[in-house]
């Protein structure tokens, strides 16, 4: 999904894994400084209207 973005790593797509709403689960580690831009892109795709966006900080 965002394979060309160097601020995003450890991407995984779990096809058909979500039961409600039905669909895929996409997970990725995103550098803190790129988070706002990514959220804007996800919003522009309409994902929040059809599913869920979950953000959790990475503990170090």
- CA torsion 45-39-36-28 (nearest 10°) is -120
- The predicted-structure confidence for 14-49, as pLDDT tens digits, reads as follows 999 999 888 899 888 888 888 898 889 889 988 888
Cβ atoms of residues 13 and 2 within 8 Å: no
Alpha helices in 17-59 (DSSP H): 35-44, 47-50
Mean pLDDT of 47-56: 84
């Amino acid at each position: 999904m965002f394979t060309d973005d160097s601020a995003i790593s450890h991407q995984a797509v779990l096809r058909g894994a979500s039961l409600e709403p039905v669909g895929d689960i996409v997970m990725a580690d995103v550098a803190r400084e790129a988070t706002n831009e990514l959220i804007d892109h996800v919003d522009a795709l309409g994902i929040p209207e059809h599913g869920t966006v979950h953000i959790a900080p990475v503990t170090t």
